[in-house]
Structure 1
Amino acid sequence: MLTPCLPSGFTQEEDERAQRALLDAYLADTGTWDLGLWYYSPMTLAFTDHLDARLIVYDCMDELSAFKNAPPQLTERETRLMRHADVVFTGGQSLYESKRRFHHNVHAFPSSVDVAHFAKAREPLSEPDDQTPIPRPRLGFYGVLDERFDAALIGAVAAARPDWQFVMLGPVAKIGPADLPHAPNIHYLGQKSYDDLPRYLAGWDVALMPFAINEATRFISPTKTPEYLAAGRPVVSTPIADVVSRYGESGVVRIAGDAVSFERAIESALDDGRDRAAFIGRVEAVLAGTSWDNTCAAMLAEVKKCAS
């Protein structure tokens, strides 16, 4: 993996010119010209669109143009990337339905999970120091706290149930501390490493997905859904389209659209968690055959079709 180190204070245009020069120099030094390009963001076209690649993959995980403070060039660059890509992958069904209109070779690959990693949370694990003092029941969320996070929803439920503790893991981005709900039973513990997530999950009674319903969440397919489930935690989510379509009838994810119904769904999820063996059995049926190995193999098969 190459990570460019650039001077601070560059404009976006200067950043892009510098990255193009660095990449060209690296390719020239190594004599690497038989290229396949795999894009996660159309913005990187700025320093790669001159390269002659025999295969171009666009791995589209989100509708980035709908995010807060999205670069104005993003839509135009995505149009160009779709025109040149050999295959397009999407991170969920809703995104697939959107992108298939613009390309002849689009495939949906909803979020998968490393079951073995998250299943560690099903067993007793040492409690993280910053979570130990927090009473039970604990209702947890991990992820970026940004415009996709329904702050009002969490604030309302926390106010209605001061006996519940809300544990929030993750960085704050594109919103300020004043935009987040604050109460004695809401605990912001900051960003945690992927390796540490099972230790936190092991101490939660219910896992939450309190996403706002807005343009930024219209096409998301949260990776945390199968991760929470693999950890053996009942899930309560707002009605994100891909969550509803994939897990709404699963019996392990409860869907609720407002504060009152979200509170009731959490109560039901707490009941679900009391019979852990039965719940784990339902989870394993839902996650059967779900793994990143299977996803990678299916994606590789599509790439090979394009390369043949």
Structure 2
Amino acid sequence: METSEIKDKDFIVFGLQPWDIPIGSNCKNIAAELSKYNRVLYVNRPLDRMSYHRGSKDIQTRNRIAAIRRGENVLTEIKSNLWVFNPGKMLESINMLPAGFLYNFLNKRNNKLLAGEISKASKQLGFTDPILFVDNDFFNALYLKDFLQPQLFIFYIRDYLRSQQYFGKHGKRAEPLIMKKADGVAANSAYLARYASQFNTNVADVGQGCEVEDFLEFTGPKPNDISAIPYPIIGYVGSITSTRLDINLLEEIAASRSDWNIVLVGPTDTQFEQSKLVQMSNVHFLGAKSQQELASYVHAFDVCINPQLLNQMTIGNYPRKVDEYLAAGKPVVATRTETMEMFGTNAFLCNGAPEYVEAIEKALNEQHDPQKVKARIAMGAAHTWKASVDQIYHLIKKTQHGRGTG
């Protein structure tokens, strides 16, 4: 019987999220799964000139500057078969330019510089005939297929970035172009797969993965900053940003049930920091936590929520946190979207504060129901990174078969 995995190949993985990002990343998880059977070069997003002159002190900027100036940590072996690469070139900041000749010229030049750096690293590792896997970056990767000439080019879409102002300016042209260039497109939701199918006939919904083991196997104590918060705790983990979460919805829920404690775990944006939520005694912002700490917080929640703001960015989004919640056996209350419908048998799907309040009350009443806990865990546990990457392998094999390669 043919195995699902592809083995003993070379993969170049590049995307928007660098390896040293402090939050969870689909691209990192996919690269780690690929490296179980293949050699993987994970390329960090290069530093651009504007970010350099801003003088940011974050770890990502410091690492890129060290690579450019001093040649430090340029190529690092993270584990067997997996290397992280910091390109030694700085790219021009061009997003402020209008569409036209100058933007196209500089973007192609940026791509050529990046491709040259990637080629040097892949040659150093002895890579031959690699497969290029690009996560969502339709600017810096637009011409990588042309310059690198990989065996195959797979584009991975996990967000509708064109809806954001920054990405939309040039992305409305660039994203369709890169998907047309790709030999195959992998999407993490059915909604995004349908969208990608406008531009490429070889599209696969590969689903979403989750590091379920962390949430299934956690047996540790409650974190100190949540242990003093009384029952019931209605919790959320993830980026707390106004482009993805509904501030008004959270304010209404907290105001209507002052006996509930709303706990939000993750980095916050300015809009949340300036919202009424920070003044509410039953709302607790616990700040950003490492990926390794998240399971301890989820297990401390009584009910887990995903109060998404409905917009073009979120409507087709697959929220990986829902799998984490379910793998921990926790009841889930979430905003109803097309992607969330697949969770309907194990989650309460809502629109608006009244439905949320009613659903949270029901969820609290059944949080310890053994049959429901078992069903939730089973659903969350099924959505592993192995299962998602197996679908990527299937897309690659299908593409190779169609081209008569292997």
Distance 1:114 1:36 in 2: 24
Pair 1:168-2:264 in alignment? yes
Describe the shift of the 1:68–1:229 C-alpha distance in structure 2 as closer, same or farther (beyond 3 A). farther
Pair 1:194-2:288 in alignment? no
Describe the shift of the 1:273–1:2 C-alpha distance in structure 2 as closer, same or farther (beyond 3 A). same
Runs of 4+ that moved beyond 4 A: 14-20
Aligned to 2:254: 158
Aligned to 2:389: 296
* Structure 2 residue matching 1:220: 3-state secondary structure: coil
Aligned to 1:278: 371
Pair 1:73-2:170 in alignment? yes
Residues 12-91 of structure 1 mapped to structure 2, 5 A cutoff: 12-13=93-94, 20-21=112-113, 23-28=115-120, 31=123, 34-41=129-136, 42-45=138-141, 48=144, 50-51=146-147, 52-91=149-188
Describe the shift of the 1:109–1:29 C-alpha distance in structure 2 as closer, same or farther (beyond 3 A). closer
Please list the CA deviations of residues 78-123 of structure 1 after superposition, one character each: whole Å capped at 9, or x if unmatched: 12111111111111111112222221111112223233221134x4
Describe the shift of the 1:133–1:285 C-alpha distance in structure 2 as closer, same or farther (beyond 3 A). closer
Describe the shift of the 1:47–1:56 C-alpha distance in structure 2 as closer, same or farther (beyond 3 A). closer
Aligned length: 302
Select which of 323, 331, 334 maps to 1:234.
Answer: 331
Distance 1:95 1:46 in 2: 19
8 Å Cα contact 2:223-2:296 kept in structure 1: yes
Select which of 247, 264, 269 maps to 2:363.
Answer: 269
Describe the shift of the 1:202–1:284 C-alpha distance in structure 2 as closer, same or farther (beyond 3 A). closer
8 Å Cα contact 1:235-1:253 kept in structure 2: yes
Pair 1:253-2:334 in alignment? no
8 Å Cα contact 1:152-1:181 kept in structure 2: no
Distance 1:33 1:43 in 2: 25
Pair 1:129-2:224 in alignment? yes
In structure 1, stretches of 5+ residues that fail to align are none
Q: CA deviation at 1:305?
A: 2.7
Distance 2:301 2:239 in 1: 18
Please list the CA deviations of residues 158-182 of structure 1 after superposition, one character each: whole Å capped at 9, or x if unmatched: 0111111111111224745224622
In structure 2, stretches of 5+ residues that fail to align are 1-41, 54-90, 96-105
Letter of the 2:113 partner, please give it: A
Describe the shift of the 1:75–1:233 C-alpha distance in structure 2 as closer, same or farther (beyond 3 A). same
Distance 2:272 2:145 in 1: 36
Q: CA deviation at 1:287?
A: 4.3
Please list the CA deviations of residues 232-253 of structure 1 after superposition, one character each: whole Å capped at 9, or x if unmatched: 1100001122102x012x1x20
Aligned to 2:16: none
Aligned to 1:148: 244
8 Å Cα contact 1:120-1:198 kept in structure 2: no
Describe the shift of the 1:68–1:168 C-alpha distance in structure 2 as closer, same or farther (beyond 3 A). farther
Describe the shift of the 1:194–1:235 C-alpha distance in structure 2 as closer, same or farther (beyond 3 A). same
Describe the shift of the 1:174–1:60 C-alpha distance in structure 2 as closer, same or farther (beyond 3 A). farther
8 Å Cα contact 1:151-1:179 kept in structure 2: yes
Describe the shift of the 1:27–1:285 C-alpha distance in structure 2 as closer, same or farther (beyond 3 A). closer
* Structure 1 residue matching 2:367: 3-state secondary structure: helix
Letter of the 2:94 partner, please give it: E
Distance 2:120 2:167 in 1: 33
* Structure 2 residue matching 1:44: 3-state secondary structure: coil
Describe the shift of the 1:175–1:40 C-alpha distance in structure 2 as closer, same or farther (beyond 3 A). farther
8 Å Cα contact 1:211-1:240 kept in structure 2: no
* Structure 2 residue matching 1:208: 3-state secondary structure: strand
How big is the alpha-carbon RMSD for the aligned residues of Structure 1 and Structure 2?
2.4
Letter of the 1:13 partner, please give it: I
Distance 1:48 1:193 in 2: 32
Distance 1:254 1:163 in 2: 21
Moved more, 112-121 or 1-10: 1-10
**% same residue:** 25
Moved more, 91-100 or 47-56: 47-56
Distance 1:93 1:174 in 2: 32
* Structure 1 residue matching 2:204: 3-state secondary structure: strand
Letter of the 1:149 partner, please give it: L
Pair 1:93-2:174 in alignment? no
8 Å Cα contact 1:27-1:33 kept in structure 2: no
8 Å Cα contact 2:188-2:318 kept in structure 1: yes
Give the structure-2-normalised TM-score.
0.68
